Each structure stands twice: as C-alpha cells, then as structure tokens.
Amino acid sequence: MLNKCPKCKSDNPGTATFCADCGTQLPSLEKIEVTETLETPKEELTTGSTFAGRYQIIEELGKGGMGKVYKVHDTKIKEKIALKLIRPEIAKDKKTLERFSNELKFARKIRHKNICQMFDLGEERGTHFITMEFVPGQDLKGLIRQTGQLAVGTTINIAKQICDGLLEAHKLGVVHRDLKPSNIMIDKEGNVRIMDFGIARSLSAKGITGAGVIIGTPEYMSPEQVEGKETDQRSDIYSLGVILYEMATGQTPFKGDTPFTIGVKHKSERPKDPKELNAQIPEDFSRVILRCMEKDKECRYQSAGELLAELEKIEKETSKWILTERKSETEELKWQNSIAVLPFVDLSPEKDQEYFCDGMAEELINALTKIEKLQVASRTSSFQFKEKGYDIHDVGRKLNVKTFLEGSIRKAGNRLRVTAQLVNVDDGYHLWSEKYDRKMEDIFAIQDEISIAIIDKLKLKLLKEEKATFIKRYTDDMEAYDLYLKGRYFWNRRYKGGLQKGLEYFNQTIKKDPSYAPAYAGIADSLSILGLFGWLPPKEAFPKAKATALKAIEIDDMLAEAYSSLGWINMLYDWNWTAAEKAFKRALEIDPNYAIGQLWYALYLLYMGRFEEATSTIMKALEIDSLSLLINVNFGCTLYFKRQYDEAIEQWLKTIEMDPNYLLSYWFLGAGYASKGMWKEVIYAFEKAVALSEESPFFIGFLGFAYATSGQKDKARKTLNQLEKLSKERYVSPYYRAMIYFGLGEKDRLFEYLEKAYEAREPILIPTIKAAPFFDSVRSDPEFKALLKKIGLE
C-alpha cells in the first residue's frame, strides 16, 4: 500500500514514516500511527457549558496532538479535573480506542506524587474523551522559555522528581513514550508532575501496540522510536536525557526543518557536549546527560533508579555549587518583582568619588530591601559586576532578577549630576530613566525619588509601616554622611588596613554627628574583627566594640547590624552564650534578610555544636547573598565541623575559584587538609594565607603548627622564635604558640599557652575549642575538659 504525502503529494512506501521527497511526516496507515496535530472536534466546549451532563467547563487549558484539554468541574465528585477531547480522526479508529482503553487500565494503577493521575476513557454522542487529575502550575517548556538555561540545582531537582515518577511507572510495566517538557508540570512550590500517561503502553501487553508503531515528538524521540522499533523504559531515559539537555542549555540537542531531519540526527548524530553551551554545568552532570542519550540503549542508564542514584551523587558532590546558584527558577515564580542595584559609575573629573558611587548603590539597596514584595539582590552579589563589562542577560541569570538599576554620578564641587536607568533583563529595554542635576544636599531626595520611581514602575504598593522605615534618615549633616560612606567603603574590604581606615572615618563621622547610629555599629564591627584576628589585643578591642554597639542600639533599637555585632561580642569575648543568642535572634527579627546576621548566628550555632541548626541557618544566608565569599567559605566550615572533610575541601576550592586571593579560603583549606593528614597541601595553603595576610601572626601560628605536625620541627621552632620577636613589637596571642606546641606534641606547653589564651580572653578559642575537629585528639584530656568548663562550654 502506498502512502501519499499530504504536502507534496508524492507516493511513498506504506512502511515509510516521513516523505522521501520533502521530509513531511506521513499520515498513519494500518501499521504506522503517529501522534500529530489534526483537526479539532466538531463540538466546541465553551466556558460555563456542561459536557456529558457532568463536566462544567471552566476554561480551555491548551491543545496537543490528541485534542483540546479543558479544566472542568466534575459535578459528580465535586472536584476540578482535566478533560481531554480525543480528535475524531483518532477516535474513529477502533484499534486506537482499544489501545487507549487497555493502556489506561495500566496507567490508572500508577499512584505517585510525581505523576498526574489518569481516570477514565469516556464517550458522549460520538465524542471520545479522557479524564484526569487537574494539575495547576506551569509546564516545563514554558519555564525553559521564560528563563533560558535553568540553574544546575534546579535541573537536578526537577530531574530527580521525574525519575521518581518514572521509577514507579516502570515498576508497573508502563512506559510513557512521549516524555517532553510540555508533558511535565511544575507547581508554584516546585513540585513536578508527569502528564499524559494515558497514551503509554504496557510492557507486558504484547500485541496492543507492536513494532512499527511510532508515538512521540521528534525532538525528544529515542533512536529506536524513530525507527519504529520495540521500546522499553530505556526509551524514556533517552527522552529524559534530551529534557535534561534542554533545561541545562536552553535548547534541544538536535534541530531541523522537518521531523525527518530531526529523526535522522537522533539516529546518527552525536549531540554537542552541554558544557560547550553552558560552562556552568559540572563535568559529571554533562557526562550523565550524554549517557542518557546514547544511541545504543544498552549503553544508557538501564533504569530510572540507576539514573536517580547518579543524580543524587552529583547533587551531594556539588552541594555548594548548587546551593549558591541563587533561588531556583521554580522558586522565582513567586517573585514577579526582583531587582539588582549595580554599582554606580564615577564620572567625576578627578575620579575620586568611587566611595560615593558605592554608597549611593548601597543606600538604594538598603531602602529597597524594606519593601516586602520586592526581591533585591544583595550588595555582595550586585557588586560582583563592578568595573566589569556585563551582559544584561548574564546579570539576570546570575543574580536571578528580572530588572536592574544602573547609573552614574558626576560630582564637581557642591554640584551633582546623577543618572539612573531601570532596565528589563528579558529584552534590554529601559523601563525608566532619569537625570538629576542638584546640589549635594539634595542627595537624600534623589535617593528617595529613584526608589519611588522603581516601586512605581514595578507596580508595587508601599505599606504604611514600610513607608516609615523606607524614608528613615540617620543624619542631615552632609559632611557626616560623606565621612560615613568613606568608612563603609573601606570597612567593606575587611582586611587589616581597610578596617583600620574605616574605623578612622567612622570615628570622624560621630564627631560630626554624635547621633549617627550606623557609624557606631561600623565601629563595633571593625573593632571586633580586628580583635578576632589579633590585629588588636582582645582586651582593647572588644570592650570598646561592645560600648559602641550598645550606643548604636540606644540611639536606634531597630538597627539589625548593631544587634549582630553585640551578639558577636557576647559570644567571642564575654562568653555569655544566652546573651549572644538573644542578640542574634533580635537582629534577625528586625531584618531577616540581613545576610551577615544570618551568618553570625549560624556560626554561633556551629561553635555550640548545634550542627543541623547551623547548616539550615547558613543556607538562609546563602539564599540572601549567594556570591558572598565570607558566607561561602563559612558554609565549608559547617561541613568541616560535621567531619565531612572532602565536601568541605571542595567547597573551599570553589570559593578560591570565585576569588583566588581570598585569604580565609586558604586558612580553612589548610585546616581541612590537616584533618586528612595531607601535610604538603596543608603547608601550601597556610603559606599562601601568610603571604596574603602580609605575615600576620595569626596565620604564622597555624603555619608553625603544620610544620611541627608534618615533622619539620626545625621550621616549627623558627616560627616560635619569629612569633617571640613579633611580640616585642605588637600583640601576639598566646594561642598561636599553643598551636605550634600542639603540633610538636609538647602537651604541657600546649596547656600552658591555652591557659594564657584563656586569661587574655582570646576570641579564637571559641571557634576551635568545643566542637571543631582541630582538638579532637586531646578532647578527652582532663586538662582540656577543665579548660572547657572554665570557659563555660562544658
């Protein structure tokens, strides 16, 4: 029997699937059936009408190869369900209806949270239909179109849920055979449901649909489906591989002008490595995708369970990478309004206003974060793009925002010219732009006008209580404000010189305006960090830090930063655990989106040995500020405390990839390698830390410990001499020498210097003494237990 092409009218063999002349998909004959777009049923269902005396039509949901789908109210069971009309051209074939009926018997057996429940096949006045569970949400195809490349974490999460559903179906002997993104629904909570198992067939029901029958969509069909051969669960694995490819890269692996050309590519062409299209994809994940798409089904994963295990392994191995991906695309559906404020560009003649440009961006970020329904990228994340050329789509994808604000400042004398533009990430068009030529004293008004314009353009409403905090100003003294911006500019650098310089400016600020609360919080924070790393004696740094934190709270008891600083001081210096936790919690009550507040509370929980609480809290910090080096490096610290050394090391290495000169990454990395006895790597990491810190005694002490423990005792003793010499010039904590004696195995000297560290109220004792792996080998020693008890940790 010949098969005539509906497009070019050429005659083709009856066994042909595609026209040999033009490549058009051919209509089905007796042995070949193809899912294709056909004419709509004669009966149109309108909103409000009732079909089959039972189903009240709510709305049309869409249409596919089989026919239109409607959301309906089933008046019999009093629930909303989905109803799919089968096109008459399909339904008129008795064999087709028999197949659907038989296959639905198997599909109805599948009861799983990741599979849409199929109900029944019915007929009303010659119109055949299938009823099924109604699943609200967005189909995966729409999500991919909306976001482009999905985050790796999101892709794996969705894929795991699909695998869960397929695993259950395959156990019951049911293969989907038409798995594609438009058949996968995702609700607003990110839960996945596989649709259309009604056209699946039973593996055990031989003869219902035999070899030579093609059902599927060309872009997602396995090679054996293209050839019309027998299919099994491995065909679904192939289709899932194509879906993974599309989620990770934003495009399908094979394209063509006709279904025929696409089918040929599935059979004979190797897909491009996904990493070539998205460099963010981990090597292992790229390998998994390509294995799913092997031409030979014997070379693919043989079951959904096998693939699921591989995905879980990758998820665990790349936990940090996934966690720092920002909020997933499925979660982004909750946030229709989101923005990143990029650093303003300094166009001043002298190019000396970088601090002012940074301050302008920070002030706008701080103001906008007070709007409940607006998601605002953190300062650390937004400032990653400072002084770099950037692509708007790259900004949107990395920061997971739909809009961004960019601008410039030109300052000359007392005059300011500020330009600002609000840009739509999707198309690059300006939603709003404005230029302000004002006097310096108008800067606060400019900030308010920009913020109000953003709120207006994003169609947000400002609640009464939000408005009160939104317009809050801490000073009207422009000179004090300028000094404060300089202080914060240096303070944000968080190295010794930057902290000291920031401290100078904060002190000058409060001389100009003694009621400037954030400047007091800046002083407290700077002093406590200088005291922690031994750049100032603890007994000099921490009492002053506490006094200024309390002063900030006295002026403004709604300043989250001040409470966080107070909690840090209560923990590291006062050793008052109850007061510390109370202060941290108060900070987060005031501002749950204060990332450093979440981080410091997580560290408190970690140092107290409350590992699971610490992990969940630091993950909140990562959600808020996913690109923060400080938060990322301390996420590795939570893994280290949980004795997950390999995962911790990987996390720190990835933090180093983010910034190869970030000091703390090397310090923690050395500690991780020490726990594995990798002393060559330990020494390299600590030597790097010493160099980056400009030979700080803090890091010299840890290097001396590494020398001692690795057997290089002469170098260790030289380090002791070096610390002794430095102590004549500046403060050197006795803790550092205790570490070296610990490495040398001189236990008496270890406890002698730990006692001196206790007397000095050395803050570094708290992160290491109770729960860290560092002292595991002496943790049962009576002297060690006695020290813990004196500190109040036992």
Task: Give the span between the Cα atoms of 527 and 545, in whole angstroms.
Answer: 6
Task: Give the span between the Cα atoms of 109 and 547, in whole angstroms.
Answer: 68
Where does 560-678 have alpha helices with state H?
560-569, 577-590, 595-607, 611-624, 629-641, 645-658, 663-675
Are 765 and 757 in contact by the 8 Å Cβ rule? The answer is yes
Task: Give the span between the Cα atoms of 222 and 143, in whole angstroms.
Answer: 23
Task: Give the span between the Cα atoms of 742 and 732, in whole angstroms.
Answer: 17
Residue type, 1: M
Residue 416 — φ and ψ, nearest 5°? -125, 140
Residue 409 — φ and ψ, nearest 5°? -135, 130
Q: Compute how many other C-beta atoms are within 10 angstroms of the C-beta atom of residue 325.
A: 21
Are 696 and 533 in contact by the 8 Å Cβ rule? The answer is yes
Contacts 24+ apart (CB under 8 A), 541-545: 542/569, 542/572, 542/573, 542/574, 542/761, 542/763, 543/573, 545/569, 545/573
427 is an active site residue: no
DSSP assignment letter at 524: H
Where does 191-258 have alpha helices with state H?
223-226, 233-249
Task: Give the span between the Cα atoms of 424 and 231, in whole angstroms.
Answer: 46
What are 73's two structure tokens? 């109210």
- How buried is 694 (Cβ within 10 angstroms: 0-12 exposed, 13-18 middle, 19+ buried)? exposed
Are 88 and 41 in contact by the 8 Å Cβ rule? The answer is yes
> In angstroms, what CA-CA distances link 594 with 475, 530, 561, 610, 623?
22, 22, 8, 21, 11
Nearest to 433 by CA among 406, 471, 403: 406
How many alpha carbons lie under 13 Å from residue 18 in its C-beta half-sphere?
A: 17
Instruction: Supply the angle between the helices 713-727 and 697-709 in degrees, to the nearest 10.
Output: 160
Q: Can you tell me which residue has the tokens 């009218």?
A: 9
Where does 458-559 have alpha helices with state H?
464-470, 478-491, 496-512, 517-532, 538-555
> In angstroms, what CA-CA distances link 172 with 24, 113, 223?
36, 15, 24
- How buried is 111 (Cβ within 10 angstroms: 0-12 exposed, 13-18 middle, 19+ buried)? exposed
Active-site residue, selected from the candidate residues 11, 21, 120, 178: 178
> In angstroms, what CA-CA distances link 67 with 106, 197, 198, 408, 639?
22, 15, 13, 55, 52
What is the chain's percent helix, strand, coil content, to nearest 5?
Answer: 55, 10, 35
How many alpha carbons lie under 13 Å from residue 235 in its C-beta half-sphere?
A: 27
- How buried is 139 (Cβ within 10 angstroms: 0-12 exposed, 13-18 middle, 19+ buried)? buried
Task: Give the span between the Cα atoms of 502 and 497, in whole angstroms.
Answer: 8
Catalytic residues: 178
